[in-house]
Structure 1
Amino acid sequence: MKLYYHPLSGHAHRAHLFLSLAGVEHELVLVDLAKGAHKQPDFLRLNPFGQVPVLDDGGVIVPDSLSIIVYAARKFGLTDWLPLEPVAAAAVQRWFSVAAGEIFYGPCAARLVTLFGRNFNAEEVIARAHAILARIEEELASRRFIAADSPTAADVALYSYISSAPEGNVDLSPYGHVGAWLRRIEALPGFVPFQKTAVGLAA
Protein backbone atom coordinates (compact mmCIF):
# COMPACT_ATOMS: atom_id res chain seq x y z
CA MET A 1 0.00 0.00 0.00
CA LYS A 2 1.08 3.55 -0.75
CA LEU A 3 -0.30 6.51 1.18
CA TYR A 4 0.05 9.84 -0.59
CA TYR A 5 0.34 12.44 2.15
CA HIS A 6 1.77 15.72 3.40
CA PRO A 7 3.16 15.92 6.96
CA LEU A 8 1.22 19.11 7.82
CA SER A 9 -2.13 17.76 6.65
CA GLY A 10 -4.31 16.59 9.54
CA HIS A 11 -6.38 14.54 7.13
CA ALA A 12 -3.24 12.76 5.91
CA HIS A 13 -2.05 12.24 9.47
CA ARG A 14 -5.44 10.75 10.37
CA ALA A 15 -5.05 8.08 7.68
CA HIS A 16 -1.39 7.44 8.51
CA LEU A 17 -2.19 7.17 12.22
CA PHE A 18 -4.93 4.62 11.64
CA LEU A 19 -2.80 2.43 9.39
CA SER A 20 0.04 2.56 11.90
CA LEU A 21 -2.11 1.84 14.97
CA ALA A 22 -3.78 -1.02 13.13
CA GLY A 23 -0.45 -2.51 12.05
CA VAL A 24 -1.15 -2.14 8.32
CA GLU A 25 2.10 -1.94 6.37
CA HIS A 26 2.25 1.05 4.04
CA GLU A 27 4.68 3.31 2.23
CA LEU A 28 4.42 7.08 2.60
CA VAL A 29 4.63 9.07 -0.64
CA LEU A 30 5.15 12.81 -0.11
CA VAL A 31 2.95 15.14 -2.13
CA ASP A 32 4.58 18.58 -2.22
CA LEU A 33 1.58 20.85 -1.69
CA ALA A 34 3.73 23.98 -1.66
CA LYS A 35 4.80 23.24 -5.25
CA GLY A 36 1.26 22.37 -6.32
CA ALA A 37 1.92 18.68 -6.85
CA HIS A 38 -1.65 17.90 -5.78
CA LYS A 39 -2.97 19.87 -8.77
CA GLN A 40 -0.84 18.13 -11.39
CA PRO A 41 -2.40 15.69 -13.87
CA ASP A 42 -0.72 12.59 -12.39
CA PHE A 43 -2.12 13.28 -8.95
CA LEU A 44 -5.52 14.41 -10.22
CA ARG A 45 -5.88 11.00 -11.84
CA LEU A 46 -5.66 9.56 -8.33
CA ASN A 47 -7.98 12.13 -6.77
CA PRO A 48 -9.79 14.61 -9.02
CA PHE A 49 -10.45 16.77 -5.93
CA GLY A 50 -6.69 17.40 -5.70
CA GLN A 51 -6.47 16.57 -2.00
CA VAL A 52 -4.38 14.35 0.25
CA PRO A 53 -4.49 11.69 1.49
CA VAL A 54 -4.95 9.05 -1.17
CA LEU A 55 -4.37 5.32 -0.65
CA ASP A 56 -3.14 3.15 -3.52
CA ASP A 57 -3.61 -0.51 -2.66
CA GLY A 58 -2.18 -2.28 -5.68
CA GLY A 59 -4.21 -0.17 -8.06
CA VAL A 60 -7.28 0.17 -5.86
CA ILE A 61 -7.41 3.94 -5.30
CA VAL A 62 -9.09 5.26 -2.16
CA PRO A 63 -9.12 9.05 -1.60
CA ASP A 64 -10.27 10.73 1.65
CA SER A 65 -9.01 10.00 5.15
CA LEU A 66 -12.24 8.55 6.56
CA SER A 67 -12.77 6.41 3.46
CA ILE A 68 -9.21 5.08 3.84
CA ILE A 69 -9.93 4.13 7.45
CA VAL A 70 -13.11 2.28 6.43
CA TYR A 71 -11.38 0.54 3.53
CA ALA A 72 -8.44 -0.68 5.62
CA ALA A 73 -10.62 -1.71 8.55
CA ARG A 74 -12.95 -3.75 6.37
CA LYS A 75 -10.19 -5.25 4.20
CA PHE A 76 -8.28 -6.54 7.22
CA GLY A 77 -11.27 -7.38 9.39
CA LEU A 78 -10.40 -4.82 12.07
CA THR A 79 -13.71 -4.99 13.89
CA ASP A 80 -12.15 -3.77 17.12
CA TRP A 81 -11.41 -0.48 15.34
CA LEU A 82 -14.55 -0.38 13.17
CA PRO A 83 -17.29 -2.53 14.72
CA LEU A 84 -19.93 -4.46 12.81
CA GLU A 85 -22.47 -4.57 15.65
CA PRO A 86 -25.10 -1.92 14.78
CA VAL A 87 -25.04 0.16 17.97
CA ALA A 88 -21.24 0.25 18.14
CA ALA A 89 -20.96 0.93 14.40
CA ALA A 90 -23.41 3.83 14.68
CA ALA A 91 -21.42 5.29 17.59
CA VAL A 92 -18.27 5.36 15.46
CA GLN A 93 -20.14 6.82 12.48
CA ARG A 94 -21.53 9.59 14.68
CA TRP A 95 -18.00 10.77 15.45
CA PHE A 96 -16.92 10.40 11.81
CA SER A 97 -19.65 12.96 11.08
CA VAL A 98 -18.31 15.23 13.82
CA ALA A 99 -14.81 14.93 12.36
CA ALA A 100 -16.08 16.01 8.95
CA GLY A 101 -18.31 18.74 10.40
CA GLU A 102 -17.65 20.40 13.75
CA ILE A 103 -13.97 19.44 13.88
CA PHE A 104 -13.29 20.63 10.34
CA TYR A 105 -15.11 23.93 10.84
CA GLY A 106 -13.68 24.40 14.33
CA PRO A 107 -10.11 23.43 15.29
CA CYS A 108 -9.12 22.47 11.75
CA ALA A 109 -10.31 25.76 10.26
CA ALA A 110 -8.67 27.76 13.07
CA ARG A 111 -5.35 26.05 12.30
CA LEU A 112 -5.77 26.75 8.58
CA VAL A 113 -5.95 30.46 9.39
CA THR A 114 -2.65 30.60 11.29
CA LEU A 115 -0.72 28.02 9.29
CA PHE A 116 -1.88 28.62 5.72
CA GLY A 117 -3.60 32.01 5.84
CA ARG A 118 -7.00 30.60 4.90
CA ASN A 119 -9.85 33.08 4.76
CA PHE A 120 -11.95 31.93 7.71
CA ASN A 121 -13.25 34.26 10.42
CA ALA A 122 -10.78 33.41 13.19
CA GLU A 123 -13.05 34.45 16.05
CA GLU A 124 -15.92 32.39 14.66
CA VAL A 125 -13.97 29.18 14.06
CA ILE A 126 -12.23 29.40 17.45
CA ALA A 127 -15.65 29.70 19.09
CA ARG A 128 -16.82 26.65 17.13
CA ALA A 129 -13.72 24.78 18.27
CA HIS A 130 -14.45 25.49 21.92
CA ALA A 131 -18.10 24.46 21.48
CA ILE A 132 -17.20 21.00 20.14
CA LEU A 133 -14.35 20.58 22.63
CA ALA A 134 -16.77 21.26 25.47
CA ARG A 135 -19.09 18.57 24.10
CA ILE A 136 -16.23 16.08 23.74
CA GLU A 137 -15.06 16.93 27.26
CA GLU A 138 -18.50 15.91 28.55
CA GLU A 139 -18.45 12.67 26.56
CA LEU A 140 -15.01 11.71 27.87
CA ALA A 141 -16.01 12.31 31.48
CA SER A 142 -17.66 8.87 31.52
CA ARG A 143 -15.37 6.74 29.37
CA ARG A 144 -11.75 6.45 28.31
CA PHE A 145 -12.29 6.77 24.55
CA ILE A 146 -14.85 8.67 22.53
CA ALA A 147 -17.12 5.88 21.27
CA ALA A 148 -16.31 3.03 23.66
CA ASP A 149 -14.10 2.02 26.56
CA SER A 150 -11.41 0.92 24.10
CA PRO A 151 -9.98 2.84 21.13
CA THR A 152 -11.87 2.82 17.85
CA ALA A 153 -11.58 4.55 14.50
CA ALA A 154 -13.68 7.36 16.01
CA ASP A 155 -10.74 8.37 18.21
CA VAL A 156 -8.42 8.40 15.22
CA ALA A 157 -10.89 10.54 13.26
CA LEU A 158 -10.81 13.21 15.97
CA TYR A 159 -7.23 13.07 17.21
CA SER A 160 -5.13 14.98 14.67
CA TYR A 161 -6.97 18.30 14.64
CA ILE A 162 -7.72 18.29 18.35
CA SER A 163 -4.08 17.60 19.24
CA SER A 164 -2.98 20.47 16.98
CA ALA A 165 -5.72 22.88 18.09
CA PRO A 166 -3.26 25.23 19.90
CA GLU A 167 -1.68 25.96 16.50
CA GLY A 168 -4.98 27.62 15.65
CA ASN A 169 -5.09 29.64 18.90
CA VAL A 170 -7.47 27.16 20.54
CA ASP A 171 -6.45 26.64 24.17
CA LEU A 172 -6.83 23.01 25.30
CA SER A 173 -5.99 23.68 28.96
CA PRO A 174 -9.63 23.95 30.13
CA TYR A 175 -10.35 20.42 28.88
CA GLY A 176 -8.80 17.97 31.30
CA HIS A 177 -10.64 14.90 30.02
CA VAL A 178 -9.66 15.77 26.45
CA GLY A 179 -6.03 16.13 27.50
CA ALA A 180 -6.07 12.75 29.23
CA TRP A 181 -7.68 11.19 26.15
CA LEU A 182 -4.96 12.64 23.90
CA ARG A 183 -2.31 11.10 26.15
CA ARG A 184 -4.07 7.72 26.06
CA ILE A 185 -4.02 7.73 22.27
CA GLU A 186 -0.37 8.78 22.24
CA ALA A 187 0.46 5.81 24.47
CA LEU A 188 -1.06 3.26 22.07
CA PRO A 189 1.33 0.87 20.28
CA GLY A 190 1.97 2.10 16.76
CA PHE A 191 1.17 5.74 17.52
CA VAL A 192 2.81 8.24 15.15
CA PRO A 193 2.87 11.95 16.10
CA PHE A 194 1.44 14.74 13.98
CA GLN A 195 4.17 17.19 12.93
CA LYS A 196 3.94 20.34 15.04
CA THR A 197 4.45 23.90 13.86
CA ALA A 198 5.26 27.01 15.88
CA VAL A 199 2.16 29.05 15.13
CA GLY A 200 -0.74 30.30 17.24
CA LEU A 201 -0.56 29.32 20.89
CA ALA A 202 2.10 26.75 19.95
CA ALA A 203 4.51 29.50 18.88
Structure 2
Amino acid sequence: MTLRMKLYGTPLSGHAHRIVLALSFLGLKAEIVNVNLREGEHHTDAFRAINPEGKVPVLVDGEVTIYESTAILTYLGTKYDDGTWLPRDPVLLAEVQKWFIWSASELAPGAARARITRLFGAPFDLATAQEIGRAFLEKLNRSLDGRDFLVGDRATFADVAIYSYVAHAPEGGLPLEPYPHVQAWISRIEQLDGFIPMPKTPAVAA
Protein backbone atom coordinates (compact mmCIF):
# COMPACT_ATOMS: atom_id res chain seq x y z
CA MET A 1 0.00 0.00 0.00
CA THR A 2 1.30 3.44 -0.92
CA LEU A 3 1.18 5.79 2.05
CA ARG A 4 -0.32 9.22 1.51
CA MET A 5 2.19 10.93 3.80
CA LYS A 6 5.97 11.17 3.64
CA LEU A 7 8.12 12.51 6.45
CA TYR A 8 11.60 13.65 5.50
CA GLY A 9 13.87 13.68 8.51
CA THR A 10 16.84 12.11 10.22
CA PRO A 11 16.71 9.83 13.28
CA LEU A 12 18.82 12.07 15.57
CA SER A 13 16.95 15.30 14.83
CA GLY A 14 14.78 16.46 17.71
CA HIS A 15 12.79 18.60 15.31
CA ALA A 16 11.99 15.53 13.20
CA HIS A 17 11.28 13.45 16.29
CA ARG A 18 8.51 15.88 17.23
CA ILE A 19 6.70 14.88 14.06
CA VAL A 20 7.38 11.17 14.55
CA LEU A 21 5.72 11.49 17.96
CA ALA A 22 2.82 13.55 16.65
CA LEU A 23 2.04 11.09 13.87
CA SER A 24 2.18 8.17 16.29
CA PHE A 25 0.00 9.87 18.91
CA LEU A 26 -2.56 10.69 16.21
CA GLY A 27 -2.46 7.15 14.83
CA LEU A 28 -1.27 8.34 11.41
CA LYS A 29 1.07 6.42 9.12
CA ALA A 30 3.78 8.00 7.01
CA GLU A 31 6.64 6.80 4.88
CA ILE A 32 9.84 7.87 6.63
CA VAL A 33 12.50 9.20 4.25
CA ASN A 34 15.86 9.56 5.98
CA VAL A 35 17.88 12.53 4.76
CA ASN A 36 21.64 12.13 5.20
CA LEU A 37 22.69 15.44 6.72
CA ARG A 38 26.32 14.39 7.14
CA GLU A 39 26.56 13.86 3.39
CA GLY A 40 24.82 17.17 2.70
CA GLU A 41 21.75 15.59 1.13
CA HIS A 42 19.63 18.43 2.52
CA HIS A 43 21.56 20.88 0.31
CA THR A 44 20.97 19.03 -2.95
CA ASP A 45 18.74 20.46 -5.66
CA ALA A 46 16.42 17.48 -5.28
CA PHE A 47 15.81 18.15 -1.60
CA ARG A 48 15.61 21.92 -2.00
CA ALA A 49 12.84 21.33 -4.51
CA ILE A 50 10.90 19.93 -1.54
CA ASN A 51 12.10 22.46 1.04
CA PRO A 52 13.93 25.54 -0.28
CA GLU A 53 15.25 26.14 3.25
CA GLY A 54 17.26 22.92 3.07
CA LYS A 55 16.20 21.66 6.50
CA VAL A 56 14.34 18.74 8.03
CA PRO A 57 11.66 17.85 8.90
CA VAL A 58 9.38 18.14 5.90
CA LEU A 59 5.91 16.58 5.75
CA VAL A 60 4.37 15.81 2.40
CA ASP A 61 0.66 15.00 2.68
CA GLY A 62 -0.70 14.34 -0.77
CA GLU A 63 -0.38 17.63 -2.64
CA VAL A 64 0.52 19.59 0.50
CA THR A 65 4.10 20.18 1.65
CA ILE A 66 4.77 21.65 5.11
CA TYR A 67 8.12 22.40 6.72
CA GLU A 68 9.22 23.84 10.09
CA SER A 69 8.33 21.44 12.87
CA THR A 70 5.82 23.53 14.83
CA ALA A 71 4.09 24.47 11.57
CA ILE A 72 3.77 20.76 10.86
CA LEU A 73 2.37 20.19 14.34
CA THR A 74 -0.19 22.95 13.72
CA TYR A 75 -1.14 21.41 10.38
CA LEU A 76 -1.53 17.90 11.79
CA GLY A 77 -3.45 19.11 14.81
CA THR A 78 -5.79 21.26 12.77
CA LYS A 79 -6.46 18.66 10.06
CA TYR A 80 -6.35 15.33 11.87
CA ASP A 81 -6.88 15.93 15.60
CA ASP A 82 -10.17 16.20 17.46
CA GLY A 83 -8.91 18.88 19.83
CA THR A 84 -7.04 16.49 22.09
CA TRP A 85 -3.48 17.31 21.03
CA LEU A 86 -4.14 20.77 19.61
CA PRO A 87 -6.88 22.28 21.79
CA ARG A 88 -9.76 24.16 20.22
CA ASP A 89 -10.29 26.28 23.33
CA PRO A 90 -8.71 29.67 22.49
CA VAL A 91 -6.97 30.08 25.84
CA LEU A 92 -5.47 26.59 25.79
CA LEU A 93 -4.52 26.99 22.12
CA ALA A 94 -2.73 30.22 22.94
CA GLU A 95 -0.82 28.39 25.67
CA VAL A 96 0.27 25.72 23.18
CA GLN A 97 1.42 28.40 20.76
CA LYS A 98 3.42 30.03 23.56
CA TRP A 99 5.41 26.83 24.02
CA PHE A 100 5.85 26.57 20.25
CA ILE A 101 7.42 30.04 20.32
CA TRP A 102 9.65 29.18 23.27
CA SER A 103 10.76 26.01 21.50
CA ALA A 104 12.28 28.23 18.81
CA SER A 105 13.40 31.22 20.89
CA GLU A 106 14.81 29.44 23.98
CA LEU A 107 15.00 25.67 23.50
CA ALA A 108 16.61 25.73 20.05
CA PRO A 109 19.48 28.13 20.87
CA GLY A 110 19.99 26.44 24.24
CA ALA A 111 19.70 22.70 24.84
CA ALA A 112 19.31 21.83 21.15
CA ARG A 113 22.34 23.87 20.09
CA ALA A 114 24.48 22.54 22.96
CA ARG A 115 23.62 19.01 21.87
CA ILE A 116 24.57 19.42 18.21
CA THR A 117 27.74 21.27 19.22
CA ARG A 118 28.93 18.44 21.45
CA LEU A 119 27.73 15.55 19.30
CA PHE A 120 28.31 16.79 15.80
CA GLY A 121 30.81 19.63 16.13
CA ALA A 122 28.39 22.38 15.09
CA PRO A 123 30.14 25.78 15.10
CA PHE A 124 28.38 27.33 18.09
CA ASP A 125 29.65 28.55 21.44
CA LEU A 126 28.96 25.64 23.78
CA ALA A 127 29.11 27.65 27.02
CA THR A 128 26.56 30.17 25.74
CA ALA A 129 24.23 27.42 24.52
CA GLN A 130 24.47 25.64 27.85
CA GLU A 131 23.74 28.84 29.75
CA ILE A 132 20.61 29.42 27.67
CA GLY A 133 19.74 25.75 28.11
CA ARG A 134 19.97 25.89 31.91
CA ALA A 135 17.77 29.00 32.01
CA PHE A 136 15.11 27.24 29.95
CA LEU A 137 15.27 24.07 32.04
CA GLU A 138 14.76 26.17 35.17
CA LYS A 139 11.73 27.85 33.56
CA LEU A 140 10.36 24.48 32.48
CA ASN A 141 10.87 23.04 35.95
CA ARG A 142 8.95 25.95 37.50
CA SER A 143 6.17 25.61 34.95
CA LEU A 144 5.75 21.91 35.77
CA ASP A 145 5.61 22.42 39.54
CA GLY A 146 2.22 21.07 40.57
CA ARG A 147 1.12 19.99 37.11
CA ASP A 148 1.52 16.88 34.95
CA PHE A 149 1.70 18.49 31.52
CA LEU A 150 2.42 21.92 30.07
CA VAL A 151 -1.09 22.94 29.00
CA GLY A 152 -4.39 21.93 30.57
CA ASP A 153 -4.75 18.60 32.31
CA ARG A 154 -3.40 16.28 29.62
CA ALA A 155 -0.59 16.00 27.09
CA THR A 156 -0.78 18.29 24.07
CA PHE A 157 1.47 19.24 21.18
CA ALA A 158 3.08 21.74 23.56
CA ASP A 159 4.66 18.76 25.32
CA VAL A 160 5.57 17.20 21.99
CA ALA A 161 7.34 20.39 20.87
CA ILE A 162 9.45 20.54 24.02
CA TYR A 163 10.09 16.90 24.90
CA SER A 164 12.76 15.68 22.48
CA TYR A 165 15.53 18.20 23.09
CA VAL A 166 14.83 18.35 26.83
CA ALA A 167 14.96 14.57 27.22
CA HIS A 168 18.26 14.58 25.32
CA ALA A 169 19.69 17.64 27.04
CA PRO A 170 22.35 15.54 28.84
CA GLU A 171 23.88 14.84 25.41
CA GLY A 172 24.63 18.55 25.32
CA GLY A 173 26.21 18.56 28.77
CA LEU A 174 23.03 19.62 30.60
CA PRO A 175 22.23 17.11 33.35
CA LEU A 176 18.58 16.85 34.36
CA GLU A 177 19.06 15.92 38.02
CA PRO A 178 18.60 19.54 39.21
CA TYR A 179 15.12 19.60 37.66
CA PRO A 180 12.91 16.97 39.36
CA HIS A 181 9.64 18.23 37.86
CA VAL A 182 11.17 18.00 34.38
CA GLN A 183 12.36 14.45 35.05
CA ALA A 184 8.90 13.40 36.23
CA TRP A 185 7.31 15.03 33.16
CA ILE A 186 9.71 13.19 30.83
CA SER A 187 8.68 9.93 32.46
CA ARG A 188 4.99 10.75 31.95
CA ILE A 189 5.53 11.52 28.26
CA GLU A 190 7.41 8.27 27.77
CA GLN A 191 4.53 6.31 29.29
CA LEU A 192 1.94 7.68 26.85
CA ASP A 193 0.35 5.25 24.40
CA GLY A 194 2.10 5.57 21.08
CA PHE A 195 5.35 6.99 22.45
CA ILE A 196 8.38 6.33 20.23
CA PRO A 197 11.86 7.11 21.60
CA MET A 198 14.48 9.06 19.72
CA PRO A 199 17.80 7.16 19.52
CA LYS A 200 20.31 8.21 22.14
CA THR A 201 23.86 9.12 21.17
CA PRO A 202 26.59 9.10 23.83
CA ALA A 203 27.74 12.66 24.51
CA VAL A 204 31.39 13.45 24.02
CA ALA A 205 33.46 15.01 26.76
CA ALA A 206 32.99 18.74 27.17
Query: Shorter-chain-normalised TM-score: which range?
Result: over 0.9
* 2:113 match: 109
Contact 2:167 2:186 in 1 (8 A): yes
Unaligned segments of structure 2, at least 5 residues: none
- Is contact 2:6-2:60 (8 Å) kept? yes
Whether the 8 Å contact between 2:12 and 2:198 is mirrored in structure 1 is: yes
The residue type equivalent to 1:57 in the other structure is D
Other-structure match for 1:135: 139
Structure 2: how far apart are the matches of 1:53 and 1:124?
26
Could you say what secondary structure the match of 1:2 adopts?
A: strand
* Counterpart position of 2:191: 187
Which position in structure 2 is the counterpart of 1:150? 154
Q: How far apart are residue 77 of structure 1 and its match?
A: 3.3
Amino acid at match of 1:82: L
Deviates more, 1:150-159 or 1:38-47: 38-47
Q: Answer yes or no: is 1:70 the counterpart of 2:71.
A: no
1:200 CA drift (Å): 4.0
Which residue of the partner structure matches residue 169 of structure 2? 165
For residues 17 and 175 of structure 2, what CA distance do their matches in structure 1 show? 21
Deviations 1:120-174 (A, max 9, x none): 2211111111111111111111210011220000000000100110000001011
1:113 to partner: Cα distance: 0.8
| Percent identity over paired residues | 45
Bigger proportion of residues as helix: 1
Q: Is the 8 A contact 1:19 1:69 kept in 2?
A: no
Residues in 1 aligned to 2:187 and 2:26: alpha-carbon distance in whole angstroms: 18
Q: Secondary structure of the equivalent of 1:33?
A: coil
Matched-pair contact (CA < 8 Å) for 1:129–1:170:
yes
Q: Runs (4+) of structure 1 moved beyond 6 Å? A: none
CA contact (8 A) 1:96 1:154 kept: yes
* Matched residue type, 1:178: V
How many pairs are equivalent? 202
TM-score (ref. length: structure 1): 0.96
TM-score when scaled to structure 2? 0.95
Alignment partners' CA distance in 2, 1:151 and 1:37 = 34
Measure the CA separation in 2 of the matches of 1:200 and 1:92. 33
Secondary structure of the 1:94 match is helix
- SS state of the match for residue 69, structure 1? helix
* Cα separation, 2, equivalents of 1:123 and 1:43: 33
Query: 1 CA distance for matches of 2:162 and 2:82?
Result: 18
